[in-house]
Amino acid sequence: MAQSVMYLLISTTLFSLINVGVKWIDHLPASEIVVFRGSLSLLICYLLIKKKGIPLLGKNRKILFLRGFFGTLALFSLFICLQKIPLAVATTLINLSPILTVVISQIFLKEKAHPIQWGFLLLSFLGVYLARGGVEPVPMEWIVLGFFAALFAGAAYTCVRQLRLSEDPLVVIMYFPLVTIPMISPVMVYEWVTPKNWDWAVLVGIGLLTQVAQYFMTLAYQREKAAKIMVFNYAGLLWAVLWGWLFFHESLEPVQILGITIVLSCLLGNYFVSRKA
């Protein structure tokens, strides 16, 4: 288990650095970053699938498409939030997805949720409200967008769970950029800003780090049950607070720290309840 935890912590750290990269080049439209990231991911996945000799388009194409569709909406919304609001607040919002996944699974997969999980969901809303801040509150439109990013991510995770028995993980990963590129490219063309100098290095770094992070995440979940190690994903919240302070001079108000703590407590509570179910 120790090795799986190490792999997952590496993955979480890399994903947090990807978020830093997105925020660092906030003069480029989020659509541009999403498409560039997707293009690199699609190329790498295609080469790996060809090498592995598995069917390129998978079997359950409807659910695969929905996984890509919801994943695209989640990623695009998250990248916009990362560029507009403090790193820790944006990361807190996207981390609501495990709790929202419980709700989505109950509605569409008919999986029973423990009553206390609904309590965690409601309490997490209070945490999000407090995380806005009091002196200079984060505009509500970005909070709402971040909530929808988590909701779409929850829907994407639900699709992935549906696909776990029928599809190779590489095919599931590939459908993400396969949907993202045609879906977001028109927006990118409309908003296009030509990257300059180090922008290109950051864009390539985001694309490559994404693949490495997904690789370590896959290693972690292949070697240990998700229920035992998923809690270590929330280390990303701690990284977000640190990177926000270190790279962007973001300082959180006491009320924001309280809000983030409430959300983290709800996430941990949901994790332990789900693990016992």
Q: What is the distance of C-alpha 110 from the center of its chain? A: 24
Q: What pLDDT shows up at residue 96?
A: 85
What is the residue range of 49's domain? 2-276
Q: What pLDDT shows up at residue 208?
A: 92
Q: What pLDDT shows up at residue 239?
A: 92
Residue with tokens 């690199």: 40
CB 101 within 8 A of CB 154: yes
Q: What pLDDT shows up at residue 54?
A: 86
DSSP 113: P
68-116 residue pLDDT tens: 999 999 999 999 999 999 999 999 998 888 777 777 777 766 667 677 8
Structural domains of the chain, count:
1
CB 31 within 8 A of CB 184: yes
CA-CA-CA-CA torsion sign (98, 103, 108, 113)? positive
Q: State the pTM of this model.
A: 0.89
In angstroms, the CA 181 to CA 190 distance is 14
Q: What pLDDT shows up at residue 224?
A: 59
Residue ranges for the chain with pLDDT beneath 70: 1, 108-111, 113, 135, 221-230, 276-277
Q: What is the distance of C-alpha 46 from the center of its chain? A: 22
Q: What pLDDT shows up at residue 157?
A: 80
- At a CB cut-off of 8 Å and minimum separation 6, what does 51 contact? none
